[in-house]
Structure 1
């Protein structure tokens, strides 16, 4: 009997340790553009089982997920396009308001196993990043020392923050160029990572020179979108800023994106030069094979985020 019990334990724990994380993808859909209705959808990794999980006639936009918790900004229960932070599960249930202060339209991130979030308060509230807990309590304010900062992203160990920053307050100011910067979690040791080509004049004033950063924890590089030579592509930079390179070779333009926690998958929004159709594509990072997961049911399908499926 002991022999059978030992074999059972070996089989059970062996299978558990080798089990791979399973994912779904959440993304944002321009559901009714005339009504300014943006919904959050979820789908399987092969593009099947698409489902609207936000179901709110307003602006809901997902910017982060930790495990199976989805964090999104929304103007529900408030003035149109005044955003606050909310949380829900992968079924669109257990919706809960987190922040009591207005947020900027910005990506966010988490650390300490999802117990701390870094967010960007609206410019009418503050000009720094906030570290908050899951009840919206401000734990720490992180100043970057720059007039403009947005889209913060933690390093894998949670001790550093990469973000979009600029030496001008607004894109409407002459000379505004957004670059990626790195600071520690106390707001110190500011370092500029990216340097937009000074002779490239193909990007409009409103275009990303350095877009939202995402940190690939497996290979330890930071990816971002940038409009260079007339088109949006994904680029990468090392955390020390010493190496920058073109990350992908797609014939499509590429924008907001996300890495799976194991670094195996890259989900990215792709679009044509005229921006007439936005789709979500999935890239196997080992083989570099790409599959488009969405169709033309909706024009705007953007900013994919990986969410993990709980083990049954």
Structure 2
């Protein structure tokens, strides 16, 4: 999954409480700004067992998201919702795992990652169902399945086309605003290139350590690697003008992550946050003036939404203040509403929430014009 699963994977790792690292003034200011950004918040998803990662087409007429629905598949599948009618259509094959969906800005097609071409996909589904039936308790973890590829399909879910066709974890993809480019995350080089002894050891211990940000043409050609680290770079999204990419970079020990931004050619890489905790799931406001993201600065099991200016010059400002998980925020294309994933439900399962966004308050809180 683009952001959520990776973050949940690390929730069970004991982390030092962020207050030891941050100035008290920052904590006080962030708490003071935690109310009033979102009004009329309500739960969008109802029937799903779990749901998250919702994204909108540029005209706001369609929303794509992932959800666990059917009893015969324990993994997420991809669903497309017509905003006007409320009609929902499954667009993924229904076999194997899927994640990281996106809607083309103008055409009637969608993007997602899937393992449905894995010969063992159904066997893995059955094994997971049996494990759950047995009552076995297992910490939730993403496995960076090497059979993940990036696919596009039309709104009916037909005419599925594999855009990557490369062994390794290819996921977390999104189209550029003009639909000509795709940014994504991949550890393909661990399968296609000769690794140094150090890299081989890193990959064996943690397959996410060799995940980098890549960019390619919308047809899957001209693939270019943009980041060159030995830590997990993932969750890339384009800026509203299509000139930059925002993403999150994990620390070498995997216990922290910070928000970064760069030009689409990989140049001018800048660190935006310096919170020394788990900060991830960044997404630009359509104005291009600030970024919203999730962070556990208030305790490693309590993820809250924050905003920060695009250059990282201002102190981040707190948006949500509910105990538990709030993450994967995305603005509607007009910037007037926010949709995010939260476990503020009686069952503590991640589902979609939605509310009116106060853009003017956001600008004022960051001292932006």
Length-normalised TM-score, structure 1: 0.71
Question: What is residue 28 of structure 2 aligned with on the other side?
Answer: none
| Structure with larger RCO (C-alpha < 8 A, sep 6+) | 2
2:64/2:101 contact within 8 Å kept: no
Match of 1:97 among 162, 174, 186: 162
Instruction: From the superposition, tell whether residues 252 and 287 of structure 1 become closer, same or farther in structure 2 (CA, over 3 Å).
Output: farther
Is 1:49 the equivalent of 2:94? no
Question: What is residue 23 of structure 2 aligned with on the other side?
Answer: none
Structure 1 residues not aligned, in runs of 5+ = 1-19, 199-208, 289-312
Considering fraction of residues, name the structure with more strand: 1
Instruction: From the superposition, tell whether residues 61 and 197 of structure 1 become closer, same or farther in structure 2 (CA, over 3 Å).
Output: closer
Question: What is residue 309 of structure 1 aligned with on the other side?
Answer: none
Question: What is residue 181 of structure 1 aligned with on the other side?
Answer: 260
Pairwise CA distance, 1:144: 4.6
Pairwise CA distance, 1:219: 5.3
Instruction: From the superposition, tell whether residues 156 and 76 of structure 1 become closer, same or farther in structure 2 (CA, over 3 Å).
Output: same
Is 1:76 the equivalent of 2:116? yes
1:258/1:268 contact within 8 Å kept: yes
Question: What is residue 307 of structure 1 aligned with on the other side?
Answer: none
Using the alignment, how far apart are the partners of 1:275 and 1:184 within structure 2?
41
Is 1:210 the equivalent of 2:279? yes
Instruction: From the superposition, tell whether residues 148 and 60 of structure 1 become closer, same or farther in structure 2 (CA, over 3 Å).
Output: closer
Question: What is residue 154 of structure 1 aligned with on the other side?
Answer: 238
Instruction: From the superposition, tell whether residues 47 and 255 of structure 1 become closer, same or farther in structure 2 (CA, over 3 Å).
Output: farther
Is 1:118 the equivalent of 2:183? yes
1:29/1:39 contact within 8 Å kept: yes
After TM superposition, the structure 1 stretch with the greater mean CA deviation from structure 2, 61-70 or 226-235, is 61-70
Pairwise CA distance, 1:255: 1.6
Pairwise CA distance, 1:245: 0.8
Is 1:23 the equivalent of 2:92? no
Pairwise CA distance, 1:222: 1.0
Pairwise CA distance, 1:180: 0.7
Instruction: From the superposition, tell whether residues 251 and 284 of structure 1 become closer, same or farther in structure 2 (CA, over 3 Å).
Output: farther
Pairwise CA distance, 1:278: 2.0
Pairwise CA distance, 1:146: 5.7
Instruction: From the superposition, tell whether residues 287 and 111 of structure 1 become closer, same or farther in structure 2 (CA, over 3 Å).
Output: closer
Considering fraction of residues, name the structure with more helix: 2
Q: Deviations over 1:139-184 (max 9, x none)?
A: 432125463311112222222222111341x52xxxx311111222
The count of corresponding residues between Structure 1 and Structure 2 is 254
2:80/2:90 contact within 8 Å kept: yes
Pairwise CA distance, 1:38: 2.0
Using the alignment, how far apart are the partners of 1:275 and 1:228 within structure 2?
24
Using the alignment, how far apart are the partners of 2:303 and 2:85 within structure 1?
24
Question: What is residue 99 of structure 2 aligned with on the other side?
Answer: 61
2:64/2:102 contact within 8 Å kept: no
Is 1:285 the equivalent of 2:357? yes
1:253/1:273 contact within 8 Å kept: no
Is 1:235 the equivalent of 2:306? yes
Is 1:222 the equivalent of 2:301? no
RMSD: 3.0
Using the alignment, how far apart are the partners of 2:272 and 2:347 within structure 1?
28
